[in-house]
Amino acid sequence: MYIIIIIAFTVLFLVFAVIFLMGKGDMLIAGYNTASEEEKKKVKIKRLRIIMAAISVISASYVATLPVLGNNMNAQLGSGVVFILIVIIFVILANTWAKNK
């Protein structure tokens, strides 16, 4: 049962990545979908979609590797810390590289 859940989440994140790369996932981006037209003009949406697709692929990879780590708590903790650092980097990218200057 556990592996089915892992596969489902991995596929879900990969589907999100494809949706973002196709330019159809703007309504899935938190904050962007509720922003006013003025605020939306301040964002380079193509770059934001690339960032969201990349973080979706990274999330899929992280979820897919969890069963490989098994019960090794040190490996799970290490991979969790790396994943959090990557997410922080992508949040910074979304707030700098994807903004109009």
Residue 91 CA to residue 81 CA, distance in Å, equals 15
Q: How far apart are CA 94 and CA 73, in angstroms?
A: 31
Q: Give per-residue pLDDT as tens, 58-72.
A: 999 999 999 998 889
pTM of the shown model: 0.89
- Residue 43 bridge partners (DSSP): 99
pLDDT digits (tens, 9 = 90+) for 28-79: 998 898 999 999 999 999 999 999 999 999 999 999 999 998 889 999 999 9
DSSP-based helix, strand, coil % in the chain, nearest 5: 75, 0, 20
